[in-house]
Amino acid sequence: MAKVNVELNHAKIAQFLKGTDVTSAVRSAGNTVKGRCGDGFEADVSTKGDRSRAYVRAVSAKAKLKQAKDHAIEKAVGEGL
């Protein structure tokens, strides 16, 4: 069996992971989770580092209490994207 040597172009991978298509998909996933959580939550997208990331957080007092007691964000993510 022949030995295969694969070399990854990390700069191109990072460029892809921060690209508009991936960022749009990440934003959509973040908004889906935010929608499942209800009022008082917000979703943001960051492209710092080597990839796009979505952040969902509770911003109102009611939402913060809901997150603390019921783990609303974790449950919303657990429902699948």
Q: Kindly report, residue by residue over 10-53, the tens digit of the pLDDT.
A: 999 999 999 999 999 999 999 999 999 999 999 999 999 889 99
Residues 6+ apart with CB under 8 A from 43: 27, 30, 31, 33, 34, 54, 55, 56
- What are the tokens at 75? 């449950």
pLDDT tens digits along 42-66 = 999 999 988 999 999 999 999 999 9
pTM (2 d.p.): 0.82
Which amino acid is present at 42?
Answer: E
Task: Give SS3 for 57.
Answer: strand
- β-partners of residue 53 are 46
